[in-house]
Amino acid sequence: MGTLENPVLRLVDRARRRSAWLYHFNAGACNGCDIELVACLTPRYDVEQLGIRLEGSPRHADILCVTGPVTRSTREALTIIHAQIPDPKVVVAIGSCPATCNVFAGSPMIAGPVDQVIPVDVYIAGCPPRPHSIIQGIAQAIEILVARKETGR
């Protein structure tokens, strides 16, 4: 039975289009970007009312949010977590560190920016980016996710 013929999978598919579940991975951040991401969940920004929530398991997530540059010790874990998120998925790089390594560039402990380890779909600039920018980036990620669901890529 194909995905569209199976009523349970059809329901899961519909739910995934309407509410994006995020998995957050700190690849080596100073915690500044992590605090701003968590701020998006507070009553002030309240992204849960839009169906966006942080999920504790990558196997149940749609969008991988990465903060910080990739360190030599987190590189393998990032690869594994990325593989555990079911397709279609979207990767969001939050802050300057996952894009360029920022202030950590040149450190012997740094493996490199995120796109040297896994593909990145959305970059959110800032050190750290404000919650408004993070919400905007996640909205962009949801659009990409829906398009991938529709095209099956």
Q: Which residues sit at the interface with ligand SF4, rule CB under 6 A?
A: 29-30, 32-33, 67-68, 95-97, 102-103, 127-128
In angstroms, what is the minimal distance from the CB of 23 to ligand SF4?
A: 17
Distance of alpha carbon 119 from alpha carbon 58, whole angstroms: 16
Distance of alpha carbon 42 from alpha carbon 152, whole angstroms: 34
Residue nearest to ligand SF4 (CB): 32
Distance of alpha carbon 124 from alpha carbon 4, whole angstroms: 34
In angstroms, what is the minimal distance from the CB of 135 to ligand SF4?
A: 16
3 vs 107 by CB, closer to ligand SF4:
107
41 vs 50 by CB, closer to ligand SF4:
41
In angstroms, what is the minimal distance from the CB of 26 to ligand SF4?
A: 8
- The two structure tokens encoding residue 81: 């977590």
Query: What are the E-state strand segments in the chain?
Result: 21-26, 53-54, 63-67, 70-71, 90-94, 110-112, 122-124
20 vs 101 by CB, closer to ligand SF4:
101
67 vs 74 by CB, closer to ligand SF4:
67
| Three-state DSSP state, 121 | coil
Distance of alpha carbon 108 from alpha carbon 104, whole angstroms: 9
In angstroms, what is the minimal distance from the CB of 59 to ligand SF4?
A: 26
66 vs 90 by CB, closer to ligand SF4:
66
User: Pairing mode, if any, of strands 70-71 and 53-54?
Assistant: unpaired
In angstroms, what is the minimal distance from the CB of 124 to ligand SF4?
A: 10
